[in-house]
Amino acid sequence: MLEVETPRGRFHCLVEGPPDGPLALCLHGFPDVPHGMAGVQGALAARGHRAVAPFLRGYAPSVLDGPHDLSALGEDVVALVDALSPSRPASVVGHDWGAVAAYVALARAPGRFCRAVTMAVPHPYVFARDVARHPGQLARSWYMLAVQPSAGGWLLARRDHALVDRLVRAWSPGWTPEPRHLSRVKACLAESGDAPLALYRALLRPLAGARRRLAELRAMRISTPLLYLHGERDGCVGAALGEGNARMFDGPHERRVLAGLGHFLHMEAPLAVEAMIVEHLSR
């Protein structure tokens, strides 16, 4: 385990690959931990990358304190690149919340990144705009509202984090994660308390700032060459929400919808997805 001290706090990271290889940050989502990126890390390390997968803000043993808004997540990613690769641009691979953090970092500090891959969540402005156009997404996103009250932490933790099992089944139909991985996820959530849920609460609070936040997302243009992957059967974010993704990119952008896969596509079909990621980042 590597501990990285940054002006944004201390982040604990899993590391693979040569110390002098080009940096590739691998960012996990919810409900997940860096170990979910192990296959991606291994594939990138085999191609000479230094693949680093941090516990994101809000996930123990990394910094738990806020703020937990989108700006904070993006600034965390930039701070990690500055600490781990101060003189060389990095690549970034992000899934779910990790994808959101990557989008913000790419928009804020384009010169610090050379290539990117995001999975399962489109550009935040595209997601926010398209929710109203796809009513089915409101049903998929019920959990975001359920964890808004202070009782959300109790809802997440009750019955040995049964909500995690429920979400995984709904988001990736037909896929069963390894019991050891689920145990790691639940142990991390138990140690982290309410902090992972603060990310969802910051999306809607304060309500008076909703229009300003939407305008900030709309202004978030990205020029870094990016590959966007989405599972056709994703039960968390409908694949249709990413159809307008390209309009938020000033640089090369490619969107692929992968048949038969759900939200955790990089763990459902690791060899195929890892090959796409490695090919894009190694260009």
Q: Of 42-56, 79-93, 147-161, 235-249, which range is least confident?
A: 147-161
pLDDT for residue 77 is more than 70:
yes
Instruction: Decide if 154 contacts 270 (C-beta within 8 A).
Output: no
pLDDT at res. 27 = 98
Q: How many residues does the chain have?
A: 283
User: Is the peptide bond preceding residue 206 cis, with omega within 30 degrees of 0?
Assistant: yes
Number of compact structural domains in the chain? 1
Q: Of 48-52, 149-153, 225-229, which range is least confident?
A: 149-153
Confidence band for 136, pLDDT divided at 50, 70 and 90: confident
pLDDT for residue 151 is more than 70:
no
The string of pLDDT tens digits covering residues 199-253 is 999 887 776 667 888 888 888 999 999 999 999 999 999 999 888 889 999 999 9
Instruction: Decide if 52 contacts 2 (C-beta within 8 A).
Output: yes
Instruction: Decide if 96 contacts 90 (C-beta within 8 A).
Output: no
Q: Of 14-18, 58-62, 212-216, which range is least confident?
A: 212-216
pLDDT for residue 184 is more than 70:
yes
Confidence band for 88, pLDDT divided at 50, 70 and 90: very high
User: Three-state secondary structure along 124-155?
Assistant: HHHHHHHHCCCHHHHHHCHHHHHCCCCCHHHH
d(CA 245, CA 253): 9
Cβ atoms within 10 Å, residue 219: 10
Instruction: Decide if 264 contacts 168 (C-beta within 8 A).
Output: yes
pLDDT at res. 207 = 63
Range of the domain at 19: 2-281
60 vs 205 pLDDT, higher one? 60
pLDDT at res. 86 = 96
pLDDT at res. 208 = 66
Cβ atoms within 10 Å, residue 26: 29
pLDDT at res. 232 = 97
Q: Helix or strand or coil: residue 40?
A: helix
Q: Of 186-190, 204-208, 224-228, 259-263, which range is least confident?
A: 204-208
pLDDT at res. 149 = 74
Of 52, 62, 86, 51, nearest to 8 (Cα)? Answer: 62
Show the tokens assigned to 105.
Answer: 């970092």
Instruction: Decide if 37 contacts 26 (C-beta within 8 A).
Output: yes
Instruction: Decide if 57 contacts 101 (C-beta within 8 A).
Output: no
d(CA 33, CA 189): 9
- What's 68's domain CATH number? 3.40.50.1820
Per the prediction, the chain carries an average pLDDT of 93
